[in-house]
A and B are shown apart, each in its own frame.
Chain A
Amino acid sequence: MPSDHVTRRGILRGAALAAAAGPALSPAHAAEPAKASKGTPMTPVELTVNGREVHLQLDPRTSLLDALREHLHLTGTKKGCDHGQCGACTVIVEGRRINSCLTLAVMHDGESVTTIEGLGTPDRLHPMQKAFIVHDGYQCGYCTPGQICSAVAVLDEIKAGVPSHVTPDLDEVALSDAELRERMSGNICRCAAYPNIIAAMKDVAGEAKA
């Protein structure tokens, strides 16, 4: 970690300010704030997020991703494509990994959500978080929260015997590099940290120690 007070977040904040001073940016990818347009009634939504019960009043259009980031300020979960193609928004809902951008928060009323913030904290890292650090499973880090949420769920899916496209025999699901690569194909990494992500996952699965 840097010894002075320069952090990635600080740099990003600076960059955002610099950009704001320039010409107006296209708002296409900016998160829409949750103000309901006229005639759209706000809907109450109760979620258990990282073990904490939260009560929200949301425009029904609010995706689970925007509810987490814009309303609960859990900005660990990232918005990449916002169309289910990149996996940066992956969170675990009721024990299963999903793209939080392609689901409405209101559809998950009463359900429990785990985000990267709920897996571990800087002082008590989840084994998968630790393994990503040890194996250098990221560069820019933008896709990492989604990668880690997905990776945790993938190991559970293999344990539960859920087959994949590369499973040779549908009834014998076993951990392998090919299985991990196939199952992680919904999480894109622009920096191509893929080999190290696989190493981190194998480490956590107890397959190979670095």
Chain B
Amino acid sequence: MRPFTYERATSVEGAAKAAASVQGARFIAGGTNLLDLMKLQIETPTHLIDVNHLGLDRIEITPEGGLRIGALVRNTDLAADKAVRRDYAVLSRALVSGASGQLRNKATTGGNLLQRTRCPYFYDTRMPCNKRQPGSGCGAIGGISRGLAILGVSDACIAQHPSDMAVAMRLLDAQVDTVDGAGARRSIPIADFHLLPGDTPHKETALKPGEIITSVTLPKPVSGTHVYRKVRDRASYAFALVSVAAIFAKDGTARFAFGGIGAKPWRVAAADAAGKQGAKAVAEAALAGARTTEHNDFKKALVQQTLVSLYRQQEARA
């Protein structure tokens, strides 16, 4: 690990200011992804700003009837929160399908949104990677790409977004609330929060330097059956090959978001619109524009079959 200096921030504004003014500074919250990458020297911050003591760990009902989730609420606590279990069950389900109990005890809501891809070429510093080292090329294209993305990819990068939580947040139309170094606040719709790789895959989010996530706000609950189905190589503690977050409403309409297949949490309006037509139509709409390799082409069929399974389960419930 490269040397760095460390400070414990005492205010949100102070943290944002420090991050904006110190070259190479990074926030650290749970640290489970950042420290892993620092040990591999994939992340090499010169200064760490510990944001764990900023009081951003509350979950509150908003005046609009939604839920404001502090950026430092741990994944365990968010999944176990009574209001989340009752009104946003898809979020609870997504959270508990990710990582391990130990990691969920540390991982935060803000940090989970910012976690980086598990593309093996991003992790292997001997290989080229445009995300890790802009302009160095992509080892994954033409390499071993079984786990990688098939939607939103570019000629520069086919890395998949790893988060389960973010897929549920995307389904629920969450807003990411931030403060920047000048003290300005804004809310970013989650659809705009994660960026597609294009020819700048190292730019992953809409956050500006020094901008810090303070909370994630969910709109009013969406009624219906909330499900999160994750398909992976082992039964627990593995990243998704394909995951589907869905809410099936009583009137037969539905909404969907997908993990494991996109360069970012994936959702398309056409797939939601096809909800009444069934699994095949939803899969077709969701997979429009898919660009696969010989290793990950199976994900298309897996998306459809996962949807078929969810529809059957839904019919059995009705």
Tell me if B153 is interfacial: C-beta within 8 Å of chain A.
Answer: no
Please tell me which one of the listed residues B5, B36, B101, B102 contacts residue A83 in the complex, with CB atoms under 8 A apart: B36
- A197 CB to nearest B CB, Å: 14
**What chain B residues lie within 8 Å of A157 (beta carbons)?**
76, 101
Q: Which of B1, B4, B28, B35 has the most CB of A within 10 A?
A: B35
**What chain A residues lie within 8 Å of B6 (beta carbons)?**
43, 60, 104, 106
Tell me if B96 is interfacial: C-beta within 8 Å of chain A.
Answer: yes
Please tell me which one of the listed residues A82, A87, A98, A181 contacts residue B106 in the complex, with CB atoms under 8 A apart: A98
Is B35 in contact with A150, judged by CB distance below 8 angstroms? no
Residues 99-136 of B, flagged 1 when their CB comes within 8 A of A and 0 if not, give 11111011000000000000000000000000000000
Count how many chain A residues have C-beta atoms less than 8 Å from C-beta atoms of the other chain.
44
Of chain A, the residue at the smallest CB distance from B52 is A107
**What chain B residues lie within 8 Å of A167 (beta carbons)?**
96
Please tell me which one of the listed residues B5, B80, B100 contacts residue A60 in the complex, with CB atoms under 8 A apart: B5
- A46 CB to nearest B CB, Å: 13
Tell me if A121 is interfacial: C-beta within 8 Å of chain B.
Answer: no
Tell me if A174 is interfacial: C-beta within 8 Å of chain B.
Answer: no
Is A84 in contact with B32, judged by CB distance below 8 angstroms? yes
Is A185 in contact with B100, judged by CB distance below 8 angstroms? yes
Is A171 in contact with B5, judged by CB distance below 8 angstroms? no
- B215 CB to nearest A CB, Å: 21
Please tell me which one of the listed residues B1, B99, B106 contacts residue A61 in the complex, with CB atoms under 8 A apart: B1
- Name the prevailing secondary structure of the A interface residues: loop
Is B97 in contact with A165, judged by CB distance below 8 angstroms? yes
Tell me if B23 is interfacial: C-beta within 8 Å of chain A.
Answer: no
Task: Given A41-B5, A60-B6, check contact A154 B35 (CB 8 Å).
Answer: no
Please tell me which one of the listed residues B1, B92, B235 contacts residue A170 in the complex, with CB atoms under 8 A apart: B92
Is A99 in contact with B236, judged by CB distance below 8 angstroms? no
Is B35 in contact with A63, judged by CB distance below 8 angstroms? yes
Question: Complex formed: what's the CA distance from A61 to B46 in Å?
Answer: 11
**What chain A residues lie within 8 Å of B50 (beta carbons)?**
106-107
- A82 CB to nearest B CB, Å: 7
For residues 78 through 93 of chain B, which have their beta carbon under 8 Å from a beta carbon of chain A? 79-80, 85-86, 89, 92-93
For residues 23 through 40 of chain A, which have their beta carbon under 8 Å from a beta carbon of chain B? 36-37, 39-40
Question: Complex formed: what's the CA distance from A90 to B155 in Å?
Answer: 41
Task: Given A90-B102, A107-B28, A183-B101, check contact A60 B48 (CB 8 Å).
Answer: yes
**What chain A residues lie within 8 Å of B48 (beta carbons)?**
60, 104
Question: Complex formed: what's the CA distance from A157 to B48 in Å?
Answer: 31
Is B80 in contact with A102, judged by CB distance below 8 angstroms? no
Is B106 in contact with A99, judged by CB distance below 8 angstroms? yes
Residues 152-182 of A, flagged 1 when their CB comes within 8 A of B and 0 if not, give 0110010011111101001100000000011
23 A-B contacts, Cβ less than 8 Å apart? A40-B3, A40-B5, A41-B5, A87-B102, A99-B103, A99-B106, A102-B31, A102-B106, A104-B6, A104-B28, A106-B50, A150-B101, A150-B102, A154-B101, A157-B76, A160-B80, A162-B76, A163-B79, A163-B96, A164-B101, A165-B236, A170-B92, A186-B237
Taking beta carbons and an 8 Å cutoff, which residues of A are in contact with B? 36-37, 39-41, 43, 59-61, 63, 82-84, 87, 90, 96-99, 102-104, 106-107, 109, 150, 153-154, 157, 160-165, 167, 170-171, 181-183, 185-187
Top 8 A-B pairs, shortest CB-CB distance: A186-B100, A185-B236, A60-B6, A185-B237, A40-B3, A170-B85, A96-B105, A162-B80
Add 13 more A-B contacts to A87-B100, A181-B236, A185-B100 (CB < 8 A).
A59-B3, A60-B48, A84-B102, A84-B103, A98-B106, A102-B103, A104-B6, A107-B50, A109-B8, A157-B76, A167-B96, A171-B85, A185-B101
